[in-house]
Structure 1
Amino acid sequence: MRLWTFTLLISIYFFYSQTSIAGGIRGTIKNTKGEVMPYTSILVKNTSIGTMANEDGKYEVTLKPGTYELQFQYLGYQVLSKSVEVGDEYVTVDVTMQEAVVQLNEVQVGSSDEDAAYTIMRKTISMARFHMLEVDSWSARTYVKGTFRVIDVPFLLKGALKKSNIQVGTTYVLESINEISFQQPDKVKEKAISIRSNLPPGSQPAINFAQLNIYQPAFFGIILPLSPKAFNYYRFTYEGGFEENGKWVNRIKVTPKIKGQNVIEGSIYIVDQLWSIHSYRFKFTDENGINYNLQQIYNLTQDVWMPIQSEITVKANIFGAEGEARYVTSVRNYQLKINPKYHQQPVVVDEKIDKEKAAEVRKQKIDTETALKQKELTRKQLRQLSREMEREDRKERKERGEDVTVMRDYSFNVDTLARKRPSSFWEDERQVPLTDTEIKGYKQADSLYKANEDKIKKDSIKSLPRFRLTHLIFGHTYNYGKQPENEWYPRTFSFDSPLLNLNNPDYFIWNNMGFFNTVEGTVLRTRMRYTERVNKDSRWSLEGNLRYSFERNHLNGGLTFSRGNQQQSFSVSAGHNIFQFNGNNPIPEGVNTVNTLLWERNYMKIYEKTFASIQWNKRFTEKVSFSTSIAFEHRDRLVNRTEYSWFDFKKRELTSNDPSNIELQDQTAFPDHNAWIWASSLTIRPFAKAGIYNGRRYLINNNSPVFTINNRSGFGDVHFNQLELSVGDEFRLLRGGFRYLVRGGLFYGPQKPNYLIDFKHFNGNRTRFQPEGFDFFRLLDYYNYSTTHNYLQAHASQQINRLLFTQFTSLRLYGIRENLFVNALLTTETNVYEVGYGFRGLLKILGAEVVTTFQNGKYVQTGFRLRLGFN
């Protein structure tokens, strides 16, 4: 989910090669208690050279003969400077760091009853956008180092771990030298110059520079302390400050108002009067229960505070798989191009604290050209000024022909020589010496690889794409060709087993193994798909599926060819297969199997269709997309062929395969007939933006409503026209996520559908298990209220951070999430409303819901539903 979660827990590994270093400085950094100071930042003044200590507090830096001044910096400690003379050999300089003397700043505390932290944070938040924009572009060289260790794995995964030559308890490391450049508003180019790792041969992934801009309002759903909404989520406490290089640095404690997932806590250090970030240390837990610790240190570079060191540690324990990772980054050789329009230092007046001064300042006329040079500005004036200046910037970019719809543009490449650099290259570039644990990890891995060299070669041959008997049971994906860096394989062939398919996550829970229904009896199905990527942006695929019914002794199947890219796609399908009356498949076949065999409830209703169709999809821009299709269908009615069930309930019996429907007075049986169906859909996302990754565009639809216009027409033995409009969105509200969908439609023209298949259906549910999907009702019958008349349906859900179970901090941190929801259906036949409560996150995949239904203003029933899945 998060970029650095994936990087740290899946693909961080290391290679180490000891090298001899000609001359420089090395030593150990401790505090006054004798404790080592891991990852202390070391800068060589008046040069672009910098490094950091390792986990054991040891550091070393290569330098030519001469006299240098070293600056040692650690979060919460006084900056220490030392002058050192370097010759042709190493000079040992051990350092003792003193804790920063934190004292109250009387000017900041003031006379207000409010904690001084709040006015500091308000001023810093008001300047956040200016600090984000004050550097037009920058380039730097980064040293990235990650370590990863598997602590324990469940029994089922030990075989896979052994096959990959990864040992439990061994420390794996990866280090990379990257060149990175940034250009406003958010264009990043990164290139890995050299990579070393002690991962098993053939597996040396690249590692990128994890960028966390603390000035932005949010990061992957986490509200950050400099967000304008921060005061809704956090309490701030002033803990004093200290002086550093003539600047006063405030220390602010950040505490969540409601402890739980996706909120941070820790300390942030802010440079007084400049309202710039000096450093921070935070921790948080994500929705998967993974614990993170973040730390970043800034330094003054060309009169701008820029991050020079980052550290991220991760600890995870999911379903018995336990691991830990650490990711450290050192940045040097900064080259900045400063934007003078934003790089100013006005005196920020806090209206809430100094009302008289604010009233006086508000009388001043704001000129966007000179406003920041004015001595005093209120927070409100700064917000207005920021909007106006960014509006002007956007206009100028548009006039220059730049694509202003692009929100992010990131490219990451690996140099062809990245894994072939000689030891001499690393003598100059390695900025953090390896720890004893990492050296041990390298030696253990090296010994393992040498001892199993022949086996590894044999395993690599075995891993080439070839068939095995186990693939018939579990399914498999075969990859062909050489996989480019950060790309897919050129060709793949996947096979989904009809028995116990573990190959396709879409089938995993309810649509996995063989099925049973009263029409077909026992059913087995399989799917095969071949995909070839023509280039980075284009591919074509051929997919076939088979479905065999033992009761009917009948084989169904279909074939689909598709070709497309990011902008458009084209597909042709044909076959003879089984379909539910509601094409949205409201009941998973696995759920229907369980209900039929255990509880004698056969809710799924199906028919057979011979078909051929053509579909075209086009994305004109990120805001507008269109799709259209034409299909010929020959439809056959099916009837029950078996009444088999494991248990016989006296007051219950299996129902006909003809669904119940009020409008048709339950006369839903239909003759075999032909139909031509033409469907078109126009989707509009008015505020959508684009992102670019390695030249490929993708959609970013943050906080933008989605409007859809659908039209469906029938010809041949059926005649109808249906128009449908919908709008939906998802955004944060009341400290949680709010989501809604409203959909309405009608059938127009002289004729309406004759057969239930073409009615408007609503996704109902009669089983104990609630399917995934937002537009599902919980207790609604599947086909009773399907209609050919006007209809309106609405769905809304609000996640509540602290409701029932989430009142307990331990349960919130565990991952329990609660929500309230409302569903409504209005047709000419009935008005149905559902009001419910639900929670999820138990054992990571379990959830439950309680829902009450009202029909035509009267109470009908209260039901209970189970949810199974990660969403």
Structure 2
Amino acid sequence: MKYYLSALFCIFISSYCQAIVVKGRVTDDKDQPLPFATIFIKGTTTGTTTNAAGQYQLDLAPGQYTVVCQYIGFKRTELPLNVNTSAQILDFRLQPVNMQIKEVVVKANGEDPAYAIIRQAIKKRHFYQEQVKEYTCMSYIKGTIGMKGVPGRFMGQKIDKKDMGVDSTGKGMIFLSESVTKISARQPDKIKLEVISSRKSGGGFGLSFPAIISFYDNNVSAVITQMGPRGYISPIAENALAYYQYHLEGTFTEDGKTVNKIQVIPRRKHEPLFSGYIFITDSDWRIHSTDLLLTSEYQLELMDSLEIRQTHVPVTGDIWRVKDQVIHISFNKFGFRMGGSFVNVYSDYNVAPRFPPKFFDNTFLKYDSAFDKQTHTYWDSVRPVPLETDEVKDYHEKDSIAKAARDSSFSRYHLDSLQHKQPRVKVMDVLWNGVKRKYYFRRDSSIQYNSLGVRGLLKSLKYNTVEGLVIALEPDLNIYTGEESSLRITPFLRYGLSNTHFNAYTQIDFSNRSKERKRFGRNDWLLAGGKRVSQFNQDNPIDNIANEFYTLFLKENYMKLYENWFGKLRYTRTFQTNDKLSVGAAYESRNPLENTTDFVIFKNDRKQFTPNHPYELANVPFEKHQALVLDASFTFQPGQQFVELPDRKIPFGSKYPTFIIGYSKGIPNVGNSIVDFDKWNFSVQDNMNFKLLGEFRYHIGIGGFLNDRNVQIPDYQHFNGNQTFYNIKYLNSFQLAPYYRYSTTAPFYATANVEHHFNGLLTNKIPLLNRLKWNLVAGANGFYVNSDNNYMEVFGGIENIFKMIRVDVVAGYQSKEDTRIGVRVGFGGILGNMVKLKTN
């Protein structure tokens, strides 16, 4: 009996002390809702933000409170609250702030009084930037993106609005996400994010990375680098007066402090600058709040506009931190009209956390083991920003659809439905797009599939002077072997109509992820064998499309080929740190090939095709022989950062360079192999973002032959030349160099590829270019073997043309030849840098 009485007493006390929901609405003096207003308990950072309808809710224990409500441009309001019932309503009706223009002595030059305030804020900038050496806080993030219009077709393809999640008018919510994350930080650059919970409408990963924006920094990042590679100059940066004009719109008093409302006006367009308002407190010159805007006129990329609104509140007597932050984005291009908002609510600041030793390790983002398993009740209890009507609807509809799909996923009907719902094969699929079919089956607790794909027939046609017209089929079979592994089988079938040679080989790729004792990593095996055609330079410096164009239209046959029966085995271990060890063995029976056709579309009697043997190496014989080559390489990048999921770690990058070391050995007298050499190489590469000054990229390498007793042409050190009009290997090629003229077996060589991407610096001052956002790029490439074998080229160009294209003018110099001038076209810019093309 005593036990049961104690249990009942505990239940009673627990129920009595449960948090009580306080709800309300925040409006202006005309009863219009104020979206994303700040609500918090005075003397704490416990609080919330209103939603777009001006609604808020707070969970509070019984007691006496003073609730503070503030909104940019309105008087801060405090209301007493006695929490003692099951639910309470507390509404706020805010009055516009009465701006007072301070009486100031205007200088003879007519300087606005805002400049004196900004100078004081700049002097205090570093103090506030470094004031808090370390801290922890909780962050709630809600992100929404909605479509307001969708075109019927895009790039010739019909848009399926239903698949996008929008209605027939092109309107609807396409993204809704919430998360709760604990932030731990230490000056100058240590940070750890622990995702407590996260959800996304319809399932999947939500947005869990808080956009930590500090206007005390000189250079402010706009959420992601792609939106502004140079960053943006803060209105109180050290050199801000050179970029901004300021106007004091007035002052108001809040909680005994005078707050200055200062309009921020960019001096020039096409600079990475904000416009809008920054509020600075008098005497201590700290940021009170911000309402700042980025637009495409001020180097904002991808989006049309991005607005950042922040409210800062006291954490302790002298320390203020961001209480809430709202980011609004808009996009209107190609018929797509989109808008979104990302609300961050920060609470529970601790500015003296005393982190244990080694707390800040290489894991900067860690997900709790149950981050995606929380119930609706949980979210209702922790969500500080009430859901709006359309958000409730979106969660309900998409979660219901996802649940129904999961519930039916094991039914025979669902399996047959997946099988039959695959798109019909169309003529264009057979000719160009390719055909892919999936074959579904049940495995353990899920439905999986194997897939078979075939490239379009027209893409399977190739042409060169050795084989003539080539039919090259590459069917691709992916077989499900488990959640942690994959198997891919790719046969390569190739027939040359001119030389009548049929080549066929098969490549098998098997990959499995290991996580024994949390030692995460991946093992990859490659096994291949058969008969194939290869370029002498195994880096494949020229791709098929470029070779076909130059051969058929310009009578230039740059691609040089040999035929080989081969067997190849390679093992690659990718470690948890993303370092990679690769070892392999390849055996080839190599056969020379000759040109068998001189067909061209445009005849030109003044030109003749060169022999298939690289003419620059005419004095180096290439006869039928066998070669056994062993090789190993190790790639490592120190300081790797990680995202840690409950079942794995994902490398996220590092601020340090990537180092690569390699070694290959020609083995003589095994299987009639005649090659006998030892070859080594070492390289370092990195991308370094200097923000306003642009991005510097480099790739520097050295290497050579320790032994060159018998080196055949495919085993030479080749420097990737380029004699076509376009280039896609900027940091691993020489844009005007011939393909094989500088190939060598020397004991030592050195290479360097460097380029600087100005990302709008300089071109933002040139009319037309600044409007088009075409950016300058410049650099140099070179290698040195000896005084007779060396090459240098310099180039300058324009990139980000249509966000994709880059054009360079290049001057190449070799000590015994005249300077060469050429133009090269490739991919470069915000989107172009993401393009990766298959070159063989």
Classify the TM-score, shorter chain. 0.7 to 0.9
Q: Does 1:636 align with 2:591?
A: yes
TM superposition shift of 1:855 = 1.9
For residues 276-328 of structure 1, what are the alpha-carbon distances to aligned partners after superposition, in whole Å with 9 as ceiling and x for unaligned?
65433343455435542222323334555343323222223455444222233
For residues 495-545 of structure 1, what are the alpha-carbon distances to aligned partners after superposition, in whole Å with 9 as ceiling and x for unaligned?
5532179xxxxxxxxxx653222223233332525265755xx53433314
TM superposition shift of 1:718 = 0.9
296-305 vs 786-795, which deviates more? 296-305
Q: What residue number does 2:4 align with?
A: none
Aligned equivalents of 1:491 and 1:128: distance in 2? 52
Note the 1:184-223 alignment, pairs <5 A.
184=185, 185-192=190-197, 197=201, 206-208=206-208, 210-214=210-214, 219=221, 220=225, 221=229, 223=231
Matched residue of 2:364: which SS? strand
For residues 546-585 of structure 1, what are the alpha-carbon distances to aligned partners after superposition, in whole Å with 9 as ceiling and x for unaligned?
2322413524232123334453534232223222111111
Q: Does structure 1 retain, via aligned residues, the 8 Å contact 2:199–2:372? A: no
Aligned equivalents of 1:112 and 1:429: distance in 2? 42
Q: Does structure 1 retain, via aligned residues, the 8 Å contact 2:324–2:345? A: yes
Change (3 A) 1:548 1:614: closer
Matched residue of 1:749: which SS? strand
Paired residue type of 1:212: I
589-598 vs 281-290, which deviates more? 281-290
Q: Does 1:729 align with 2:686?
A: yes
Change (3 A) 1:272 1:409: farther
Q: What residue number does 2:465 align with?
A: 518
Change (3 A) 1:226 1:555: same
Paired residue type of 2:212: L
For residues 352-397 of structure 1, what are the alpha-carbon distances to aligned partners after superposition, in whole Å with 9 as ceiling and x for unaligned?
xxxxxxxxxxxxxxxxxxxxxxxxxxxxxxxxxxxxxxxxx8xxx6
Note the 1:564-579 alignment, pairs <5 A.
564-565=512-513, 567-576=521-530, 577-579=532-534
TM superposition shift of 1:854 = 1.9
Q: Does structure 2 retain, via aligned residues, the 8 Å contact 1:840–1:846? A: yes
Change (3 A) 1:466 1:853: same
Q: Does 1:707 align with 2:652?
A: no
Q: Does structure 2 retain, via aligned residues, the 8 Å contact 1:29–1:58? A: no
TM superposition shift of 1:863 = 1.1
By relative contact order (CA 8 Å, sep 6+), the higher-ranking structure is 1
Q: What residue number does 2:714 align with?
A: 757
Q: Does 1:409 align with 2:365?
A: yes
Q: What residue number does 2:306 align with?
A: 292
TM superposition shift of 1:638 = 2.3
For residues 631-675 of structure 1, what are the alpha-carbon distances to aligned partners after superposition, in whole Å with 9 as ceiling and x for unaligned?
2222222222332222212322333221122xx4x1455222111
Q: Does 1:310 align with 2:264?
A: no
Q: Does 1:656 align with 2:611?
A: yes
TM superposition shift of 1:736 = 0.6
Paired residue type of 1:776: S
Aligned equivalents of 1:316 and 1:446: distance in 2? 27
Aligned equivalents of 1:154 and 1:567: distance in 2? 44
Aligned equivalents of 1:270 and 1:407: distance in 2? 36
Q: Does structure 1 retain, via aligned residues, the 8 Å contact 2:466–2:593? A: yes
Q: Does structure 2 retain, via aligned residues, the 8 Å contact 1:281–1:294? A: yes
Matched residue of 1:646: which SS? coil
Aligned equivalents of 1:465 and 1:154: distance in 2? 26
Q: Does structure 2 retain, via aligned residues, the 8 Å contact 1:218–1:227? A: no
Q: What residue number does 1:101 align with?
A: 99
Q: Does structure 2 retain, via aligned residues, the 8 Å contact 1:682–1:710? A: yes
Paired residue type of 1:544: T
Change (3 A) 1:23 1:581: closer
For residues 697-746 of structure 1, what are the alpha-carbon distances to aligned partners after superposition, in whole Å with 9 as ceiling and x for unaligned?
44455442333332222123111122223233321347111112222222
Change (3 A) 1:813 1:554: same
Q: Which of residues 812, 830, 834 in structure 2 aligns to 1:853?
A: 812
Q: Does structure 2 retain, via aligned residues, the 8 Å contact 1:556–1:578? A: no
Q: What residue number does 1:837 align with?
A: 796
Structure 1: runs of 5 or more not aligned = 1-21, 342-392, 450-455, 502-511
TM superposition shift of 1:154 = 5.2
Tell me the TM-score normalized by structure 1. Answer: 0.74
Aligned equivalents of 1:730 and 1:863: distance in 2? 26
Aligned equivalents of 1:483 and 1:78: distance in 2? 62
For residues 585-642 of structure 1, what are the alpha-carbon distances to aligned partners after superposition, in whole Å with 9 as ceiling and x for unaligned?
1112122222222322221122223332333344667496543322222222222233
Paired residue type of 2:211: Q
Q: Does structure 2 retain, via aligned residues, the 8 Å contact 1:498–1:526? A: yes
Q: Does structure 1 retain, via aligned residues, the 8 Å contact 2:35–2:50? A: yes
Q: Does 1:144 align with 2:154?
A: no
Aligned equivalents of 1:704 and 1:227: distance in 2? 30
Change (3 A) 1:321 1:583: farther
Q: Does 1:694 align with 2:707?
A: no
Aligned equivalents of 1:329 and 1:209: distance in 2? 10
Q: What residue number does 1:376 align with?
A: none
Note the 1:768-783 alignment, pairs <5 A.
768-783=725-740
Tell me the TM-score normalized by structure 2. Answer: 0.76
Q: Does structure 1 retain, via aligned residues, the 8 Å contact 2:234–2:240? A: no
Q: Does 1:39 align with 2:49?
A: no
Matched residue of 2:664: which SS? strand
Q: What residue number does 2:504 align with?
A: 556
Note the 1:603-682 alignment, pairs <5 A.
603-618=558-573, 622=577, 625-661=580-616, 664=617, 666-668=618-620, 670-682=622-634
TM superposition shift of 1:231 = 3.7
Q: Does structure 2 retain, via aligned residues, the 8 Å contact 1:67–1:84? A: yes
Change (3 A) 1:709 1:272: farther
Change (3 A) 1:105 1:66: farther
Aligned equivalents of 2:142 and 2:175: distance in 1? 8
TM superposition shift of 1:256 = 6.8
Matched residue of 2:160: which SS? helix
Change (3 A) 1:824 1:310: same
Change (3 A) 1:218 1:747: farther
TM superposition shift of 1:679 = 1.8
253-262 vs 715-724, which deviates more? 253-262
Matched residue of 1:751: which SS? strand
Aligned equivalents of 2:704 and 2:584: distance in 1? 20
Aligned equivalents of 1:182 and 1:236: distance in 2? 33
TM superposition shift of 1:770 = 1.6
Change (3 A) 1:164 1:796: closer
How many residue pairs match? The answer is 759
TM superposition shift of 1:406 = 0.7
Aligned equivalents of 1:36 and 1:106: distance in 2? 36
Matched residue of 2:739: which SS? coil
Identity %, equivalent residues: 21
Paired residue type of 2:488: L
Aligned equivalents of 1:416 and 1:732: distance in 2? 35
Q: Does structure 1 retain, via aligned residues, the 8 Å contact 2:579–2:635? A: yes
Q: Does 1:339 align with 2:352?
A: yes
Change (3 A) 1:721 1:222: same
666-675 vs 260-269, which deviates more? 260-269
Matched residue of 2:94: which SS? strand
TM superposition shift of 1:36 = 5.1
280-289 vs 227-236, which deviates more? 227-236
Matched residue of 1:784: which SS? coil
Q: Does structure 1 retain, via aligned residues, the 8 Å contact 2:176–2:391? A: no
Aligned equivalents of 1:232 and 1:724: distance in 2? 47
761-770 vs 839-848, which deviates more? 839-848
TM superposition shift of 1:762 = 1.0
Aligned equivalents of 1:317 and 1:513: distance in 2? 38
Q: Does structure 2 retain, via aligned residues, the 8 Å contact 1:121–1:226? A: no
Q: What residue number does 1:766 align with?
A: 723
Aligned equivalents of 1:700 and 1:444: distance in 2? 34
Q: Does 1:824 align with 2:782?
A: yes
Aligned equivalents of 1:801 and 1:476: distance in 2? 40
Matched residue of 2:737: which SS? coil
Structure 2: runs of 5 or more not aligned = 1-19, 403-408, 514-519, 669-673, 834-840
